[in-house]
């Protein structure tokens, strides 16, 4: 069976996800798993796809960075697939791990991809440091804190913190931070 996996990091990348799904359909994927989550987050659809694959199956992704977050992670996935007799194909590289050359190329390209990412992150850190030194960098906007009133209102209505996080599409950590800050400011007011 041919199984496809597609992923984008954010909901704003809908066109990218649709393009991946179209490419996977065109190459004959019989079952496709997709999700819109960061590569560092828990990826349920990837876990499902890997669990679904059986010996003799082929797992297809459009790009290597859609599958793994690092060379180490890629190696773990490929090792698991190899042990179970499952091939991996990466469309944009015409890569197929069912061949010895494909396995070699996968390792080389995975290493290059990780190197590129690390270089990009290093340049980003340097740019941020320079902007901070020039007083131009303010950091990202505190989007969750802008919803403090909504969080406190829902809390007052009896919603649990995890429900508030889901409802407002912010992290539970942000909800706890907002609630703790509200409690601290009330305590300060009471002590005056």
Domain identity same for 41 and 107: yes
From its phi and psi, is residue 53 left (phi > 0), alpha (psi between -120 and 50) or beta?
Answer: beta
The total of structural domains in the chain comes to 2
Flag whether 172 is in a domain.
yes
pLDDT digits (tens, 9 = 90+) for 24-42: 999 999 999 999 887 677 8
Supply the DSSP string of 111-175, one letter for each residue: HHHHHHHHHHHHHHHHHHHHHHHTT----S--TTGGGHHHHHHHHHTT--HHHHHHHHT--HHHH
Domain identity same for 174 and 100: no
Domain identity same for 106 and 152: no
Whole-angstrom distance, CA of residue 50 vs CA of residue 58: 10
Flag whether 140 is in a domain.
no
Domain identity same for 158 and 100: no
pLDDT digits (tens, 9 = 90+) for 13-24: 677 889 999 999
Look at residue 191 in the predicted model and tell me its pLDDT. 61
Domain identity same for 103 and 12: yes
Domain, as residue range, for 164: 145-190
Phi–psi pair at 5, nearest 5 degrees = -135, 130
Flag whether 135 is in a domain.
no
Domain identity same for 98 and 168: no
Look at residue 187 in the predicted model and tell me its pLDDT. 62
Flag whether 43 is in a domain.
yes
Look at residue 189 in the predicted model and tell me its pLDDT. 61
Flag whether 123 is in a domain.
no
Flag whether 106 is in a domain.
yes
Choose, from 9, 39, 94, 174, the residue flagged as catalytic.
9
Look at residue 12 in the predicted model and tell me its pLDDT. 59
Residue 64 belongs to domain with CATH number: 3.40.50.1390
Residue 153 belongs to domain with CATH number: 1.10.10
Domain stop point among 114, 135, 158: 114
Active site residue 9: yes
Phi–psi pair at 96, nearest 5 degrees = -140, 115
Domain identity same for 105 and 170: no
Domain identity same for 157 and 65: no
Domain identity same for 71 and 15: yes
Domain identity same for 71 and 152: no
Flag whether 91 is in a domain.
yes
Q: What is the mean pLDDT of each run of 10 residues along the chain (192 residues)?
A: 89 78 94 84 89 94 85 83 92 86 81 81 90 84 82 91 89 89 72 61
């Amino acid at each position: 069976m041919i199984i496809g996996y597609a992923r984008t990091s954010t909901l704003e990348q809908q066109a990218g996800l649709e393009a991946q799904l179209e490419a996977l359909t065109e190459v004959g994927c019989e079952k496709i798993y997709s999700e819109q989550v960061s590569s560092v987050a828990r990826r349920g659809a990837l876990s499902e796809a890997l669990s679904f694959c059986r010996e003799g199956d082929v797992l297809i992704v459009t790009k290597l960075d859609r599958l793994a977050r690092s060379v180490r992670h890629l190696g773990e996935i490929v090792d698991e697939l190899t042990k179970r007799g499952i091939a991996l194909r990466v469309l944009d590289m015409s890569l197929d791990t069912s061949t010895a050359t494909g396995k070699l190329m996968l390792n080389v390209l995975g290493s290059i991809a990780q190197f590129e990412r690390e270089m990009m992150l290093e340049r980003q850190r340097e740019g941020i440091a320079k902007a901070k030194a020039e007083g131009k960098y303010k950091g990202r906007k505190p989007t969750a804190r802008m919803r403090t009133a909504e969080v406190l209102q829902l809390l007052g209505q009896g919603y649990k913190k995890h429900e508030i996080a889901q409802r407002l599409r912010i992290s539970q950590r942000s909800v706890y931070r907002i609630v703790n800050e509200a409690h601290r400011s009330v305590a300060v007011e009471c002590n005056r």
